[in-house]
Structure 1
Amino acid sequence: MHDIRAIRENPEAFDAALARRGLDAMSPQILALDAERRSRIAEAEAAQAEQNSASKEVGAAKARGDDAEFERLRALVAEKKGAIAQKQTEAGELDQQLRDLLMGIPNLPLDSVPDGADEDDNVEIRRWGEPRGFDFAPAEHFEIAGVIPGMDFETAAKLSGSRFVVLKGGVARIHRALAQFMLDLHVEEHGLQETWCPVLVVEEMMVGTSQLPKFGEDSYQTREGWWLIPTSEVTLTNTVHGDLVDHATLPRRMTAHSQCFRSEAGSAGRDTSGMLRQHQFEKVEMVSITDAVTGLDEHARMTRCAEAVLEALELPYRTVVLCAGDMGFGARITHDLEVWLPGQDKYREISSVSYCGDFQARRMNARYRPEGGGKPEFVHALNGSGLAVGRALIAVLENGQQADGSVELPAALHPYLRGKTRLTSEGVLA
Structure 2
Amino acid sequence: MSEVKDGTLLLVTPAVVRTVNGVYEVEADFANNLRLYLANFKRVTFAGPVFPGLTSSGIVLRSLPLQKMEDADRLSFIPLPYPYREDRYLRHYLSTRRLLASEIAKAQYLIFSPHSSYDWSTLAAHLAIKQKRKYDMESDHDHASAMQFHLATMPAGLRKLRKTIWARSFIKDVETCFAKSSLALLQGQDVFDAYKSIAPNPHKVLNVQVSSEDYVTPPELEEKLDRIENKKPLSISYAGQAIARKGPLDWIKIIHGVSQAGVDVQATWFGDGPLMPEMKREAANAGMEAKIHFPGSVGRHEIISALKKSDIFLFCHKIGESPRCLGESLAAGCALVGYGTEYPRGLVADRGGGEFADMDDWEKLVNLIVSLDRNRQQLRQLTEAAAASGRLLDRDVAMQKRIDLIKTYLSA
- Normalised by the length of structure 1, the TM-score is 0.24
Q: Which has the higher contact order (CA 8 A, sep 6+)?
A: 1
Give the structure with higher Rg (CA). Answer: 1
